[in-house]
């Protein structure tokens, strides 16, 4: 038994995707089925998602703030991570 999936996408995106799939010898429904099959088989999104975080899990801007704060002669002790982060935000600018 099959089920239909209906989605709304920008017409320009649909046209461009149709062209890419056509160049690959596919139609769009087949490409979508391939995506869904791969996602089920791997139990993941079948391509790398870029969340723009550094290898330490921070945004590039926040990591720069931390690096700059490390250069600061100001040293303190903190009772929580939240307290340390507030200090870094306050003193890194």
- Domain-located, residue 18: yes
- Domain-located, residue 72: yes
Q: pLDDT value at position 14?
A: 96
- Domain-located, residue 51: no
- Domain-located, residue 67: yes
- Domain-located, residue 19: yes
- Domain-located, residue 70: yes
Structural domain total, the chain: 2
- Domain-located, residue 48: no
Please list, residue by residue across 39-66, b when 16 or more beta carbons sit within 10 angstroms of its beta carbon and e when fewer do.
eeeeeeeeeeeeeeeeeeeeeeebeebe
- Domain-located, residue 68: yes
* pTM of structure: 0.53
Q: Which residues contact 14 (CB under 8 A, 6 or more apart)?
A: 28
Domain that holds residue 23: 11-42
Quick: pLDDT tens for 43-62. Answer: 998 887 777 888 877 888 88
Quick: pLDDT tens for 63-79. Answer: 888 787 777 766 667 78
């Amino acid at each position: 038994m099959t089920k239909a999936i209906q989605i709304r996408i920008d017409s320009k995106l649909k046209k461009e995707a149709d062209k890419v799939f056509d160049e690959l010898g596919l139609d769009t429904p087949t490409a979508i089925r391939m995506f869904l099959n791969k996602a089920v088989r791997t139990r993941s999104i079948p391509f790398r998602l870029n969340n723009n975080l550094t290898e330490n899990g921070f945004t590039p801007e926040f990591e720069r703030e931390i690096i700059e704060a490390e250069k600061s002669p100001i040293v303190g002790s903190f009772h929580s991570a939240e307290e340390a982060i507030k200090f870094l935000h306050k003193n890194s600018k």
